[in-house]
Amino acid sequence: MTAIDLRSDTVTKPSSGMRRAMAEAEVGDDVLDGDPTTRRLEARVAELLGMEDALFFPSGTQANQTGVALLTAALVGGALRPTSPHVPCASAVAAENTHNAAGGKVMGVDVMAGIVVAAGAAGLPLHLDGARLWNAAAALAVPISRLVAGAATVMVSFSKGLGCPVGSCLGLRAAERPRAWEIRKRLGGGMRQSGILAAAALWALDHNLTRLGEDHDKARRLADLLSDCPAVRPSVPETNIVMVDLLRERDTASAVVPKLAA
Ligand SMILES: *Cc1c(COP(=O)(O)O)cnc(C)c1O
């Protein structure tokens, strides 16, 4: 029997088709004067998100940091509110869809719209951590752009369920691209022949995006199978994450791992 590593959607390895696309990618120097494949990926993602522009990053963490840095800068003008040492001062609102720690939970279109309204009423811009936004859109059967409406910046990952080795994009307004580019550079995220990585992401958008529902079906089937095992108590997955409740004292990792293996 072959063991399948189910610890995370990050342990996937590039398929042969993806590796071929990477090997054949047209490249340039993206830090100097541009990489054509990276630019194609950025345009494709901006279109998918329904946003003006997107910038390619080596990691989601760096894209999140850049998004938050952009919004905080935008807020300086709004910092005219009287500040008080007794009141914490919010500078931006961040939301995550799907929610990783909550077990891949999906935030629906209405909930997102409510957050957009609340953030707008407070004068705060919204950053969306959409590392698994593809999964949310697949689970809800809505276009990804519907889950983005109203966000100032949006991070999406290629290295999670889409199966790429590296990469995220930050969706943003076109006017913010130069500033985001500068922040990315300062964070050490400038990449040169990044088209090799962007080609993997484009390949994943062409071949893997429509297959996320298969992952969700398999996650549900795994949870179903595990639910026959009283010591494990799996969550009911909404997307591609199955959580196992280990809160009971006797359910130490060393006790549960052999049960899961069985
Ligand atoms: C993985 C992840 C990140 C960070 O992405 P990296 O590419 O690992 O830096 C951010 N947010 C969520 C929800 C994630 O799952």
Find the length of the chain: 262
pLDDT at 210: 97
DSSP line for 49-106? HT-SEEEEES-HHHHHHHHHHHHHHHHGGGTTSPP-TTS-----EEEESSBTTTTSBP
Query: How close are the terminal C-alpha atoms of the chain, in Å?
Result: 12
Nearest residue by C-alpha to atom 11 in ligand 1: 131
pLDDT number for residue 20: 98
Q: Which atom of ligand 1 is nearest to the CA of 96?
A: 13
122 Cα to the center of ligand 1, angstroms: 27
100 Cβ closer than 6 Å to some ligand 1 atom: yes
Contact indicator for 162, 134 with CB cutoff of 8 Å: yes
| pLDDT value of residue 164 | 98
Tokens of 51: 């946003």
pTM, full prediction? 0.88
Atom of ligand 1 nearest to the CA of 64: 10
pLDDT of 82: 58
Q: Counting atoms of ligand 1 from 1, which one is nearest the CA of 160?
A: 1
Pocket test for ligand 1, best of 8, 100, 134, 135 (most atoms within 8 A of CB): 100
Task: For residue 228, report the distance from its CA to the centre of ligand 1, in Å.
Answer: 32
Pocket test for ligand 1, best of 61, 98, 134 (most atoms within 8 A of CB): 61
CA distance 168 to 199: 13
Identify the CA nearest to 153 among candidates 78, 42, 63: 63
Q: Establish whether residue 165 lines the binding site of ligand 1, counting it when its CB lies within 6 angstroms of any ligand atom.
A: no
Mutate to test the pocket of ligand 1, among 129, 134, 153, 243 (most ligand atoms within 8 A of CB): 129
150: how many CB neighbours lie within 10 A of its CB? Answer: 15
Is the CB of 60 within 6 Å of ligand 1?
A: yes
In the predicted model, residues of the chain with pLDDT beneath 50 are 75-77, 79-80
pLDDT at 83: 61
